[in-house]
Structure formats: C-alpha cells, structure tokens
Amino acid sequence: MCGIVGYIGKRQAYPVLIKGLKRLEYRGYDSAGVALITESSGLQVYKTKGKVADLEKYTDGKDVTGTIGIAHTRWATHGEPNSTNAHPHISASGQLAIIHNGIIENYAVLKDQLMEKGVEFRSDTDTEVLVQLIDYIRTKKNVDLLTSVRMALRMVIGAYALAIIDKDNPDQIIAARQSSPLVVGIGDGEFFLGSDASPIVEYTDKVVYLDDQDIAVINRNSDHVEFVNVNNEKIDHEIKKINLNLSQIEKGGYPHFMLKEIFEQPQCLMDCMRGRVNVDLNNVVLSAVIDYRKELINARRFIIVACGTSWHAGLIGKQLIENFCQIPVEVEYASEFRYSNPVIDNRDVVIAISQSGETADTLAAVELAKKRGAFIFGICNAIGSSIPRATNTGSYIHVGPEIGVASTKAFTGQVTVLTMLSLAIAKARGTIENHEYETLVRELNAIPEKQKQLLDECNEKIHEIAKIFTYARNFLYLGRGYNYPVALEGALKLKEISYIHAEGYPAAEMKHGPIALIDEEMPVVVVATKNALYEKLMSNIQEIKARKGRVIAIVSKDDDKVRELADEYIELPKTLECLEPLLATIPLQLMAYYIAVAKGKDVDQPRNLAKSVTVE
C-alpha cells in the first residue's frame, strides 16, 4: 500500500518524482524517500519519516540533480515508520537502491541466509532483504542487474511492485510486479513509473500496465520498454491510452479532496449512468449484461465479495438484486471468504466490488471463486487495475480518481452500478413489472439533480450541527432496510477520519443491547425517511429520547413527526425507497467531514490508513 514513482529521461527527475509522490500519497504517508543518480555526487538517497512535504524540507539545499530517480511514499508493514525503515533501501555495498510496494513473505528466511553469509542489514524491513539478495547474487555470480533481479525474484514469495537502480548505470531502471500495481508511462525519449497513472498523466497518455511476474527493463536511449518474465522470456504488451485529466486529480479550490469528492457526486453519477440509463427509451443498458446475458440471468445465486465501504455497497446490492431479480444473494467480507471453503460452482456469479481494484483480500476472493468455477463480475473504479483484469466481465463505476482516503463518491457510484445491474437483469428475467421498471429508470436518472439540491440545502446546516457534536466520544448510527448499510457507512466515515468511536446498527436491534449505551452524552444519527418502516423508526427514536439521547435525524421533505422528536434534522428530497441510500449517505459523509475538520484531523490522510490496501 505504498506509492512508487520512477523517472528516466531528459528532464530533472526530482520535481517529477516529488509531484508523483504527492499524487500517490493517498496510498501511504508514514515516510517518504527518493534516490537519484546525480551528476556530481553519484547515487544519493534522501528519506525521512513523515509526508512528502517533510521530504521536501529535508532535501532543501541538498543535491537533487540528475535525470534518473526512484521515489517512495510508505505505509508501514514491517518495521516502524521511521527514517531508517523508509525507502529507498540501499544494498550493503552501496551499489543498488530499491523501492517496493508489497510484502515479501519469506523475508525472514532469506534474511537469515544472507546474514549467515555475512551481509549486514540496517533496517527492519522486508524490502531491504530484496535489495541485499539482488546485490548478493549480482556480485557472487558476476551477472548483470537484470539477471540478478530475475534470479532473486524466483526465490521470493510475496507481493511486490518494485523499481531498482544501479549507481554505476544512470541509464537504466528495472521494475517488476507481482500482485501489486505498476504502470510504465512511455513519453518521447523519457519513461515514467507509477503505482497508478496519476504521476504520469501530465507527461504522456501512453502507458503499459504490468501483469504479474512481468519485469520491465527501461533503458534511457531506447524507444521502447522491454518486458520479460523471471525466466527471461520476452513478453509483448499493448500500449494503452489513459483517459485521465489533471483537474480530476487536483483539489479544484476545495480545502480537501474528501469535500471535493462529496460535492462531485452528482456529476459522478451522471458519468456513471451516461449511455447506460436512457429515460427516453425507458431502459438501462449495461454492456456486460448484453455480452454475458446467459451467465447473469441464469445465475443460481450471487455472492458479493468486498471490504469496508465497498462491502456496505454490497449490502445494498443484495437487497436490490433479491427484490428485483428474485435471485438469492450472499454478501461476504472478502478477507473471510478467501480463507473459507465456500460451496460454489459454475452456476454461481461472484460480484467483486472494489474502488481501487487492488484490494488484496478482494483479489484473492476472486481468484478462489474463479478456481471453483464461478463466473466473476467486477464493479471497480480504477481502470485497468488488477481486479477488473481478473474478472470475466464487469462494469466500471466511472466516478474518476478518488483521492481522499475515506471513500465517498465511489460508494454512491457502486450503489448506482448495482442498481443498474439489478434492473438490467430483472428486465431480462422478466421479474419486474414494466411500470415499476419505468418508474425506477426515471427516478434513478433524477438522482444527480436531487443530490445537487440536497448538497445546496444541507451543507451549511450540517457544518453547524457538526460543531455541536465535536465533543462526542461515541456515536450510534441507526437505519433499516436499504438504509441500514447507510448507517454502517456513516459510522465508518466518522470513525476513520475523526477517530470518534461509532457503531452502525439496524434500528430495531438497538433494544437488544446498544440501548444500554444511551444517555444525554450520546448522539444517535437515525435515517428515518418516510418509507414502509417509518412508524417503527419513530418508536426507536422515542426510545432514545426517553433515555435522553440526542437524535440527529435524516428525514424526508414531507416528514411531519420525526422532526418534532429530533434534536436536529436534515431533510432529503423524496425518492424511491431503494434509491434513498444515494441521497441519505451524503449528509452523513458531510457530517463526518465537518466533525473531523473541527477536531483538526487530517481528513484526506487519516492516521494508520491508506487508500489502496494491497496487503492482507
């Protein structure tokens, strides 16, 4: 879950690397470092605990010249986040520098073996073992860098995206991938490396996404990159064009990416539905459902695998698919599923949901389901990432890069795709009445406009409410039916960015335990829209008030009762019950955001978290 960047070419590498690291900082920000082969002083490595801005301060006044370099922003796995454990790591001879994203699982055995041979280690990291091993092979066997990298990677078990440079060869970078993402950008007489395309996008739109076991040999004076595998067999790669513009990955006047991404949701959902939802023709078209109609409409069962926020979207997907398609759905944590012994076969369809498309647990769940014969459908955001490449088919959510670590627009994008998927399958199976289908298509299409209206109306009010509740040490979030996952999502948002403990519950479960927590200190957020369970939710609110709890209610515009009971309320535009999560989630995202800001927390980069969880 670290970010890696590399550059070789005609310009100064340092500014390219620093800018790239800033773009990738969402992947980890415990420490940062850069290795350059400078014109005057040879291989120079600068690294420090903290963020990329700390690295910039650290390099101030130092020699950062050179047209080749590699850089890293770290999310610690092995070894505490300090400057010694920061990347790049240097081999004991001082010859090689490496950056690495992933985990070398057999690092302890390899380290023991190298130490027995007299190799001295400086850090506690698994990565240092890699560079020491490569250098050991290189000198002992007297082979070139590529050969030693190939030989070392044959001995390594684990995940890696890595880049390595040799102090005596300022004309070459070698990079490799196994289970962690890596992209090579191909410019005019220059080459770039990135964990994703964001560090590359402003220099070139030509990229190659490495596959597992690929090694890229990037030579300064070549017009192409050579790809081989660990056995030195040549690999051909198609050059892809990236479709990402700079404004999508910058803050655009907002103080934080998270706020920008919350406000982008109406546009994102329009992008997500473009060409798929057509009100004039009254239909929803997903190309995957056309291409794989048989597999999808005849599914015996759907199993949704995902983590975190994507798992919450999956809980909404279950209700949508079961209600409209009449097909049973199970929702599994990918991390549990991957180590279970699931009874699945080729009549099952597994839906993998992942914003990053790189989550290690979700990817492993996909591989397991594939082995057992299931048909795999991906719902992802990052184009060309590992999960879409491992699936049989799928639908991208098309919400643009999500940079704030707390997921916001990806959640509503995922729920939108799940809604379209369930409608398309239900129509094809004939399990939905025409008039219901038409109403749903119309209402789904109207959601972006209603989100806009909601954002306009509630933003300031939530800002004020957030100030009142910054004191709280605990929060409870309640919802029912489609809004139960919304409660879970609201609680997750609050805890991850404000570090306030929060629990999401189905409202009726409160009386089975959590009600004991309620007193005058306890804010309870209740999604209490006017739907079939409205009266029941009102009873839950009365139970809270009877115990002096403080209720923040999310209510429908035509609500007349809950607002009377609640301490604070936010009104939602009216929509169909199954589409309410696309609106009700927004005030909860904003509330978490404003509470975290009021508490002075680092909203976009909360402690201990990273955007892309490519480790177990």
How far apart (Å, rounded) are the C-alpha atoms in residues 416 and 276? Answer: 11
Beta bridge partners of 183: 194, 209
Check residue 354 for interaction with ligand F6R (CB under 6 A): yes
DSSP result, 487-525:
HHHHHHHHHHHH--EEEEEEGGGGGGTGGGG-STT-EEE
Q: Which of residues 441-480 bind ligand F6R (CB under 6 A)?
A: none
Is 175:227 a contact under the CB 8 Å cutoff?
no
Q: Which is nearer to ligand F6R, 96 or 313 (CB)?
A: 313
At closest approach, how far in Å is the CB of 611 from ligand F6R? 7
Name 405's Cβ contacts closer than 8 Å, sequence gap at least 6.
26, 496, 497, 604, 605, 606, 609, 610, 611
Q: Which is nearer to ligand F6R, 380 or 526 (CB)?
A: 380
At closest approach, how far in Å is the CB of 469 from ligand F6R? 20
- Judged by CB under 6 A, the stretch of 301-309, 371-379, 430-438, 463-471 that binds ligand F6R is 301-309
- Judged by CB under 6 A, the stretch of 123-131, 351-359, 371-379, 538-546 that binds ligand F6R is 351-359
* Alpha helices (H) along 430-483: 434-468
294 annotated active-site: no
Q: Which is nearer to ligand F6R, 193 or 305 (CB)?
A: 305
Check residue 268 for interaction with ligand F6R (CB under 6 A): no
Name 114's Cβ contacts closer than 8 Å, sequence gap at least 6.
121, 129, 132, 133, 136
The two beta strands, 568-572 and 550-556, are parallel
- Judged by CB under 6 A, the stretch of 148-156, 171-179, 286-294, 303-311 that binds ligand F6R is 303-311
In 280-383, DSSP assigns E strands to: 283-284, 301-306, 329-333, 348-354, 375-380
Q: Which of 91, 84, 99, 79 is nearest to 35 (CA)?
A: 99
Check residue 309 for interaction with ligand F6R (CB under 6 A): yes
Check residue 355 for interaction with ligand F6R (CB under 6 A): yes
Q: Which is nearer to ligand F6R, 123 or 585 (CB)?
A: 585
At closest approach, how far in Å is the CB of 496 from ligand F6R? 6
Check residue 407 for interaction with ligand F6R (CB under 6 A): yes
Q: Which is nearer to ligand F6R, 307 or 466 (CB)?
A: 307
How far apart (Å, rounded) are the C-alpha atoms in residues 53 and 21? Answer: 10
At closest approach, how far in Å is the CB of 382 from ligand F6R? 8
Check residue 589 for interaction with ligand F6R (CB under 6 A): no
Place of tokens 């991208």: 396
Q: Which is nearer to ligand F6R, 179 or 575 (CB)?
A: 179
Count of residues in contact with ligand F6R, rule CB under 6 A: 14
Identified binder of ligand F6R from the candidate list 67, 178, 265, 356, rule CB under 6 A: 356
At closest approach, how far in Å is the CB of 542 from ligand F6R? 32
Place of tokens 């056995």: 231
At closest approach, how far in Å is the CB of 244 from ligand F6R? 17
Check residue 406 for interaction with ligand F6R (CB under 6 A): yes
How far apart (Å, rounded) are the C-alpha atoms in residues 68 and 349? Answer: 46
Handedness of CA 274, 275, 280, 282 (dihedral sign): negative
Q: Please tell me which residue in 22, 260, 493, 611 is annotated as part of the active site.
A: 611
The helix/strand/coil state of 454 is helix
Q: Which is nearer to ligand F6R, 85 or 612 (CB)?
A: 612
At closest approach, how far in Å is the CB of 334 from ligand F6R? 8
- Judged by CB under 6 A, the stretch of 52-60, 122-130, 152-160, 302-310 that binds ligand F6R is 302-310
Stretch (H or E) spanning 590: helix 581-598
380 annotated active-site: no
Q: Which is nearer to ligand F6R, 145 or 397 (CB)?
A: 397
How far apart (Å, rounded) are the C-alpha atoms in residues 542 and 549? Answer: 10
In 106-182, DSSP assigns E strands to: 158-166, 169-178
How far apart (Å, rounded) are the C-alpha atoms in residues 405 and 402? Answer: 8
How far apart (Å, rounded) are the C-alpha atoms in residues 249 and 533? Answer: 41
Check residue 613 for interaction with ligand F6R (CB under 6 A): yes
Is 569:560 a contact under the CB 8 Å cutoff?
no
Is 331:314 a contact under the CB 8 Å cutoff?
yes
Check residue 386 for interaction with ligand F6R (CB under 6 A): no
Identified binder of ligand F6R from the candidate list 6, 185, 308, 413, rule CB under 6 A: 308
Q: Which is nearer to ligand F6R, 132 or 265 (CB)?
A: 265
Check residue 359 for interaction with ligand F6R (CB under 6 A): yes
How far apart (Å, rounded) are the C-alpha atoms in residues 163 and 181? Answer: 12
Q: Which is nearer to ligand F6R, 176 or 387 (CB)?
A: 387
- The residue number whose beta carbon is nearest to ligand F6R equals 308
At closest approach, how far in Å is the CB of 339 from ligand F6R? 17
Check residue 496 for interaction with ligand F6R (CB under 6 A): yes
The 8-class DSSP code of residue 453 comes to H
Check residue 614 for interaction with ligand F6R (CB under 6 A): no
- Judged by CB under 6 A, the stretch of 106-114, 305-313, 530-538, 566-574 that binds ligand F6R is 305-313
Beta bridge partners of 158: 104
Identified binder of ligand F6R from the candidate list 67, 95, 362, 614, rule CB under 6 A: 362
Q: Show the tokens assigned to 451.
A: 């989100």
Check residue 310 for interaction with ligand F6R (CB under 6 A): yes
Is 13:63 a contact under the CB 8 Å cutoff?
no
How many C-alpha atoms does 512 have within 13 Å on its Cβ side? 5
The 8-class DSSP code of residue 79 comes to S
At closest approach, how far in Å is the CB of 17 from ligand F6R? 25
Positions annotated as catalytic residues are 2, 611
List residues near ligand F6R by CB under 6 A. 307-310, 354-356, 359, 362, 406-407, 492, 496, 613
